[in-house]
């Protein structure tokens, strides 16, 4: 981009780049400045304002547009993300947590979140928002690094016109304009303080070097705006009314050839051309392998007119430009624009319709009179007296009695006027896609959080791409700030930023994790390889509500949920969160104690029931045993009775039998004995199973008849 060998050549090239950017961005700056004024209420054109004044009508502004923009600003805060460092290696999470702790301290000290909110507002209103990052030694203590993070006015930055990306990540240069008075110039550039009078005097002479096109070229001249931004090319470097000069800060990418030398042991280092010549000669007895690559390095040029005030490689410790920008949307020429530009016509229509309705009501609401000329004494006096309360209107005799004066009815308000007003408001909703009415509860009926959340998400669907780009803008800012810390900040200052943390302690350059006992040096943190992830920020109420609803559903479905997790996600201050945790722990202890008492009671009841059951079983067993003994005794008695009857009958037969029959009977009894029956057993078996048969056989044997 800038390759000149001499300072004058480099200055000429730098001025050319700035003027090319000025040509590209001039019209955009005028439109963006109008958008900013429009957002803050300056919404009437000059012609319309003059017409209202002529009609003696007030110039009223119903700034509905601002409520739409403010809703988006609040939604950005409600959906904020927090960039964090995530380690590449699984064992490096401890050091990544240290970096995130330093980030939290740094963000609070330089108010990153507040300034990012202003950047987002600039982008929504003007189309682009920018911040400047500066990391330089603290003037009061050069051993400390002072990091500043400031909003840059949207009209001050002009990016490379050839940049095609919305975030300007592919830009080769940017220019940053600042208007300075003489005293401020002397403070900012002390090396030129003694020449400040000469430089400012050169402007007043109207040198063509300072006014492109010459001082006689009045076609491009314009009145300075209230903010002091000069959009016209005739005022490149000097504002003659304010006596201010325009200092241009230009940052430009410059390609650099990087040479790396590697020895036979595999050790490599970056060298310049002179060192390459020395190493190539082999004087140290070592053979080197050389490799080359091209890298882009940022150079700074600061100038005013034909004076180069500063030029050098960027003094910042981070990669890239010192300015980071975020654009809301971009047109086909890659010029950014905001939501305000889309809503300006609809907002103007709203103002006109409200003004029309108000004018119609104020002029047509009075009924007036219908009167014949002969009815009044003096028509002019009658007209004026009717406008004054308590005044007298003089009428001719008989005017009232003869009905020469009648009250005129109020004309009906036309529906078309109200319809146009409603259509204008609906057009704002349609274009912005922000339906604020959807976020309110209908007729005061409370709605479930899930319903409200769905309405909220629907109203912000069009914002998702914008929010995604803004989240990546915050990611780039995080990388630049953390590079400043790990590359330039001293160990002592890092230790102070960590401070007396509840988890980390720093002593003699060593960081210790109180939870795990792990230790690492601050130097190892500087060389840590990390990725950057985006997680919902603590202020992200949308994500918090969704997570709480998920946990609630888990609890309702029977899945155990840690109440402490829910307390942490509720967004309460720490004291209230701690009180809830203590209360939950006490309730948990009471519940556990009550549960233990219930279990003890159940165990006692179970023991009693088991004892009663055992006693019942023993009683039943005794009853069964007693019954068995009774049954056995009854059975034996029956058997004895049967045996006695059998033997009695047998003996009766035996006595009556002759000798042969007695032998047969004895033989039968003998055979039964051989079968193993004793006397008692024989009697039982004969009485139980075979008494009738044996008796029959005996009888048959005795009588000789068939049994």
Cα–Cα distances in Å, from 260 out to 254, 257, 275, 284, 297? Answer: 19, 10, 11, 17, 17
The pLDDT tens digits for 395-413 are 888 888 788 787 777 666 6
pTM: 0.70
**Residue 266 backbone dihedrals phi, psi, to 5 degrees:** 90, 5
The pLDDT tens digits for 49-59 are 999 889 888 88
Distance CA 510, CA 505 (A): 8
Q: By mean pLDDT, which of 225-229, 335-339, 370-374 is the weakest?
A: 225-229
- The pLDDT of residue 116 is 95
Indicate whether 234 pLDDT > 50: no
- The pLDDT of residue 123 is 95
User: Sign (positive/negative) of CA torsion 640, 641, 643, 644?
Assistant: positive
In what order do the strands lie in the sheet containing 128-138? Answer: 141-152, 128-138, 323-327
Furthest CA-CA distance within the chain: 181
The pLDDT tens digits for 460-480 are 677 888 889 999 999 999 999
pLDDT-based confidence at 29, cuts 50/70/90? very high
Cα–Cα distances in Å, from 94 out to 487, 552, 611? Answer: 19, 32, 60
Q: Which of 452, 497, 570, 477 is closest to 117 using CA atoms?
A: 477
Q: Residue 677 is encoded by which pair of tokens?
A: 């029956």
**Secondary structure (DSSP) of 374-435:** GGBS-HHHHHHHTTSTT----B-TTTTTTT-EEEPPPPPPPHHHHHHHHHHHHHHHHHH---
Indicate whether 682 pLDDT > 70: no
Q: Which of 127, 174, 100 is closest to 32 using CA atoms?
A: 127
Q: In this structure, are residues 507 and 522 in contact, taking their beta carbons and an 8 Å threshold?
A: no
**What are 492's strand-pairing partners?**
none
pLDDT-based confidence at 690, cuts 50/70/90? very low
Q: By mean pLDDT, which of 220-229, 371-380, 445-454 is the weakest?
A: 220-229
Distance CA 567, CA 183 (A): 55
Average pLDDT on 349-356 reads: 86
Q: Residue 125 is encoded by which pair of tokens?
A: 């209103």
The pLDDT tens digits for 72-90 are 888 888 888 889 998 887 7
Q: Where are the domains of the chain?
A: 179-320, 592-703
- The pLDDT of residue 459 is 64
User: Sign (positive/negative) of CA torsion 150, 151, 156, 157?
Assistant: positive
Indicate whether 534 pLDDT > 90: no
**Residue 428 backbone dihedrals phi, psi, to 5 degrees:** -65, -45
**How distant is the alpha carbon of residue 347 from its chain centre?**
30
Indicate whether 336 pLDDT > 50: yes
- The pLDDT of residue 324 is 95
Of 640 and 58, the one with more pLDDT: 58
Residue in the block written with tokens 């009658």: 382
Average pLDDT on 562-570 reads: 69
Q: Which of 302, 420, 432, 437 is closest to 350 using CA atoms?
A: 420
Distance CA 656, CA 290 (A): 146
- The pLDDT of residue 361 is 75
Q: How many helices (H) and strands (E) does the chain have?
A: 21, 19
- The pLDDT of residue 337 is 94
Indicate whether 500 pLDDT > 80: no
- The pLDDT of residue 302 is 94
C-beta atoms surrounding 158 within 10 Å = 24
- The pLDDT of residue 675 is 64
- The pLDDT of residue 303 is 93
DSSP three-state, residue 297: strand
Q: By mean pLDDT, which of 188-197, 304-313, 401-410, 476-485 is the weakest?
A: 401-410
Which helix H or strand E contains 566, and what residues bound it? helix 563-569
**What are 173's strand-pairing partners?**
252
- The pLDDT of residue 175 is 94
Cα–Cα distances in Å, from 528 out to 87, 90, 98, 487? Answer: 8, 12, 11, 11
Indicate whether 330 pLDDT > 80: yes
Indicate whether 386 pLDDT > 80: no
Q: Which of 173, 130, 182 is closest to 153 using CA atoms?
A: 130
Query: Residues 6 or more apart from 472 whose CB is under 8 A from it?
Result: 167
The pLDDT tens digits for 131-164 are 999 999 998 998 999 999 999 999 999 999 999 8
Indicate whether 703 pLDDT > 60: no
DSSP three-state, residue 340: helix
Distance CA 399, CA 213 (A): 78
Average pLDDT on 486-494 reads: 91
Q: In this structure, are residues 22 and 158 in contact, taking their beta carbons and an 8 Å threshold?
A: yes
Dihedral of the CA atoms 684, 690, 691, 694 (nearest 10)? -120
Indicate whether 662 pLDDT > 50: yes
Residue in the block written with tokens 């530009």: 341
Distance CA 457, CA 438 (A): 11
Tell me, what DSSP letter sits at residue 200?
H
Indicate whether 665 pLDDT > 80: no
Query: Percentage of the chain surpassing pLDDT 90?
Result: 27
């Amino acid at each position: 981009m800038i390759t000149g060998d001499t300072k004058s050549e480099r200055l000429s090239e730098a001025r050319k780049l700035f003027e090319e950017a000025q040509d590209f961005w001039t019209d955009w700056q005028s439109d963006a400045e109008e958008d900013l004024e429009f957002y803050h209420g300056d919404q009437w054109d000059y012609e319309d304002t003059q017409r209202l004044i002529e009609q003696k009508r007030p110039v009223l502004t119903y700034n509905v547009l601002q409520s739409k923009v403010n809703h988006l600003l609040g939604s950005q805060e409600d959906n904020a993300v927090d960039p964090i460092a995530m380690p590449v290696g699984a064992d490096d999470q401890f050091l990544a947590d240290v970096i995130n702790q330093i980030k939290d301290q740094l963000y609070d000290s330089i108010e990153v979140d507040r300034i990012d909110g202003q950047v987002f507002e600039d982008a929504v209103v003007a189309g682009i928002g920018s911040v400047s990052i500066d990391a330089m030694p603290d003037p009061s203590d050069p051993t400390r690094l002072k990091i500043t993070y400031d909003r840059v006015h949207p009209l001050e930055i002009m990016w490379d016109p050839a940049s095609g990306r919305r975030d300007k990540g592919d830009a080769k240069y940017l220019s940053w304009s600042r208007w300075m008075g003489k005293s401020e110039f002397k403070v900012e550039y002390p090396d030129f303080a003694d020449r400040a009078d000469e430089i400012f005097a050169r402007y007043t002479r109207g040198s063509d070097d300072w006014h492109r096109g010459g001082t006689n070229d009045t076609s491009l001249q314009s009145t300075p705006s209230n903010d002091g931004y000069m959009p016209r090319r005739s005022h490149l470097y000097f504002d003659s009314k304010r006596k201010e000069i325009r200092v241009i800060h230009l940052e430009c990418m410059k390609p650099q050839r990087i040479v790396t030398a590697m020895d036979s042991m595999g050790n490599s280092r970056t060298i310049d051309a002179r060192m390459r010549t020395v190493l190539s000669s082999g004087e140290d007895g070592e053979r080197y392998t050389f490799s080359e690559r091209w890298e882009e390095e940022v150079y700074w040029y600061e100038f005013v007119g034909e004076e180069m005030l500063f030029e050098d490689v960027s003094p910042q410790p981070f990669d890239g430009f010192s300015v980071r920008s975020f654009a809301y949307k971009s047109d086909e020429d890659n010029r950014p624009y905001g939501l305000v530009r889309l809503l300006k016509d609809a907002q103007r229509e709203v103002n006109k319709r409200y003004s029309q309705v108000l004018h119609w009501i104020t002029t047509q609401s009075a009924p007036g009179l219908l009167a014949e000329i002969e009815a009044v004494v003096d028509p002019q006096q009658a007209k004026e007296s009717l406008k004054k309360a308590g005044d007298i209107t003089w009428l001719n005799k008989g005017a009232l009695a003869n009905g020469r004066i009648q009250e005129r009815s109020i004309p009906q308000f036309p529906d078309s006027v109200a319809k146009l007003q409603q259509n204008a408001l609906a057009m704002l909703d349609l274009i912005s896609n922000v339906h604020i009415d959807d976020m309110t509860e209908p007729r005061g009926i409370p709605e479930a959080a899930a319903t409200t959340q769905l309405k909220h998400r629907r109203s912000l669907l069009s914002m998702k791409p914008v929010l995604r780009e803004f989240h990546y803008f915050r990611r780039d800012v995080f990388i630049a700030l953390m590079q400043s810390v790990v590359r330039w900040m001293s160990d002592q200052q890092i230790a102070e930023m960590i401070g007396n943390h509840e988890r980390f302690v720093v002593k003699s350059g060593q960081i210790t994790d109180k939870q795990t006992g792990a230790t690492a040096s601050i130097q190892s943190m500087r060389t840590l390889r990390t990725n950057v992830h985006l997680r919902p920020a603590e202020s992200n109420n949308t994500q918090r509500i969704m997570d709480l609803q998920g946990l609630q559903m888990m609890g309702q479905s029977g899945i155990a949920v840690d109440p402490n997790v829910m307390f942490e996600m509720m967004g309460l201050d720490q004291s209230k969160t701690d009180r809830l945790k203590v209360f939950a722990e006490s309730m948990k202890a009471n519940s556990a104690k009550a549960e233990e008492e219930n279990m003890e009671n159940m165990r006692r009841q179970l023991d009693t029931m088991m004892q009663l059951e055992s006693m019942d079983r023993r009683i039943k067993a005794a009853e069964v045993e007693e019954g068995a003994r009774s049954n056995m005794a009854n059975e034996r008695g029956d058997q004895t009775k049967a045996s006695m009857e059998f033997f009695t009958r047998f003996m009766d037969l035996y006595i009556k039998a002759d000798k042969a029959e007695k032998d047969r009977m004895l033989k039968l009894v003998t055979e039964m004995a051989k079968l193993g029956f004793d006397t008692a057993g024989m009697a039982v078996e004969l009485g139980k199973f075979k008494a009738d048969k044996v008796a029959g056989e005996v009888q048959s044997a005795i009588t000789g008849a068939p049994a």
